[in-house]
Amino acid sequence: MVDPVAAILKDPQVAESKRYCGKCDQPVGRGKDGKPGRLRGFCPTDGTPFNFVPSLAEGTLVGGQYLVQGCLAHGGLGWIYLATDRNVNDRWVVLKGLLDVDDPAARAAAEAERRFLAEVNHPNIVMIHNFVEHPDDDGKPIGYIVMEYVGGSSLRKLVEDRGKAVGQRLAPLPLPQVISYGLEILPALGYLHGQGLAYCDLKPDNVIQYERRLKLIDMGAVVPFGNADGFDWYGTPGYQAPDFESEGPSPAADIHTVGRTLMVMALGTSPLRGGKPVPLPDPAAERLLAEHESFHRVLLRATDPDPKRRFASAEEMADQLTGVLREVLAAEDGKARPGVSTVFGPSPSVFGIGLLGDVGSPGRPDPVAVAPTLPVPLVDTTDSAAGLLATASSAAPEEILRLAAVTPTPSVELRLRVVRAHLEVGDVGSAQKALQRLRTDLPGDWRCDWFTGVAALTAGDARAATTAFDTVLATLPGESAPKLALAAAAECAGDDAVAGRYYLQVNRPNPDIADAAFGQARVALRAGRPEVALAALDTIAPTSSQYVTAQTVAVRVMIGGSVDEGVLRAAADRVGRLTLDQATGHEVRASVFRAALPLVTATNGARPPLLGSSWTEHGVRAALETELRAGARLATDEATRVDLVDLANAIRPVSWV
């Protein structure tokens, strides 16, 4: 640990450039016409009192127990002091004083911090030891909270230090670092929420990076949910939720502060401008948000003006933010970071295998065929029908419908399963009616939007499906399933720009999702970018059941246009490493020999064999004829058999005997 004494300010003054109102974040105490600014006074914008003069001198004994060593910093509620606890082995502690001893709201906030923190025990929340009072020069008692010493820098200071390096007040932190901070903050908030407490004042200033851990400090605004009685001072403008005054403290209000904190750190912006909250920038004006759409969607949901549309809990936000972090890291270094969804099961099948038969003109998926291959939302294990649905997981849709018909009061999960059953038998109308009833009972439930999208695909309406899946993605920005569904629906609708964007977002962190790789390849081939298609196909791992299919398509992509000998031999090497069924093997090898034919006639001199055949026109023609005739014998229809035999006859080497 760094020596705490080293953190003591030698000259405890707040520089004029750092004097801001604790309420509106406007400059206060600034000099004018060469005269220094006031250390005490009132904010000219909103009248809030400010005081930048330390109340305790070095050597002061507070509460008969805590010996002041000096000032550490100036925070929202005044100066923060380093002291030693004479009653407990001279351990290091922190005393935090009030902003204004005459301010009853500030005093109430400090009392709240003592009362609630005494019951809090979490590794990411500062520990409170005591609450004491000490008289000022006029004899008025000033309250001090005694907390554990947490050495380190606030997240606000990290943003400021980045700004200094580039000559600005603030500058953004790396996005993976910002998200990681959020993922450490959210469990602490979740813990408080589990105790029925709202934090109310999350901001970068109130989070300390301590060794390899973050700690929430400055807990003066902690109150029970919905209890705003007796307080005038809550949170910080620019972070505080717009609904706080009307709805009171709540998890949703805290979620809003997390979103604003992430925005400030990721964009390096002030939370206020002209005394008003800085709006979240449009991606068109902010490159980071344009490049990382999923992170932008996280911020949008966390800071939604409607508290009911924000993340339902700190745990839910952390779950989605984890998915976004995997996506961001994969985009930065190209390394896959697959994860298991907590809300969706895996895709039951792949929809895009046969669409790359002709790499020169890839087919588009059929929306009706796509619908049953999409991932299915996981069943809520707390639902009363969860056990029943688990035992009936392989039941035919007709059985599910009969079961629901004899159930007096079907649960939510059973009703959702009924929607699926209607779609599985192609009864879109009944599914939509059931969804309409569910929407009435479950307003804002993303599963209704999900099955609305699946119903639209089943009906062949890809554009309506795109709209529905986009709504799901706004709710679950860290999930791969809505991105895959949105990409597929957009491709069905002919919108390759949207399809390609979301296939890529799925494929980079999750190459095990084969449909994303195949979809990205189709979009790239239609755009005339075979190198991108090849790279997408190569993300499918050898352990995947779709690996051989991806590699055979990759071979066709490599030899699909004008090809030189080096590319041809690289394609042949791929074929040689694959274990293919007979029919596919004959077809792929024939395509390689066909591509080699114009090359062998244009080259002179000895060359290595190609797939075991000599690099001569005679050798390549003979090998091609052999593969075509073998393929004809395995053909399942007469027309294909005849075509292959005719082609073999036309390509066979000329015989002079």
Q: Among all residues, which ones are annotated catalytic?
A: 201
Strand partners, 130: 146
Contact 218, 143 (CB under 8 A): no
Assign 3-class secondary structure to 500-535.
HHHHHHHHCCCCCCHHHHHHHHHHHHHCCCHHHHHH
Which two structure tokens, joined as six digits, stand for 461? 């309406």
What ranges in 58-140 are assigned the alpha helix state H? Answer: 104-117
Sign of CA dihedral 180, 181, 182, 183: positive
Residue 10 bridge partners (DSSP): none
Please give the order of strands across the beta sheet that includes 153-154.
153-154, 207-210, 213-216
Q: How far is CA 451 from CA 207, 445, 448, 523, in A?
A: 41, 11, 5, 26
Burial track 95-123 (b if 16+ CB lie within 10 A, e otherwise): bbbbbbbebeebbbbbebbbebbeebebe
Q: Whole-angstrom Cα distance, residue 511 to residue 657?
A: 55
**Which of 31, 83, 74, 82 lies closest to 53, judged by CA?**
74
Residue 244: left (phi > 0), alpha (psi -120 to 50), or beta? alpha
Look at the block and give the residue holding tokens 């995947």: 544
Sign of CA dihedral 141, 147, 151, 152: negative
Can you name the residues that pair with 134 across neighbouring β-strands?
142
CA R_g for the chain = 33
How far apart (Å, rounded) are the C-alpha atoms in residues 526 and 30? Answer: 62
Helix, strand, or coil (residue 32): strand
Rounded to 5°, the CA angle 464-465-471 comes to 95
Q: Two tokens at 534?
A: 């090849």
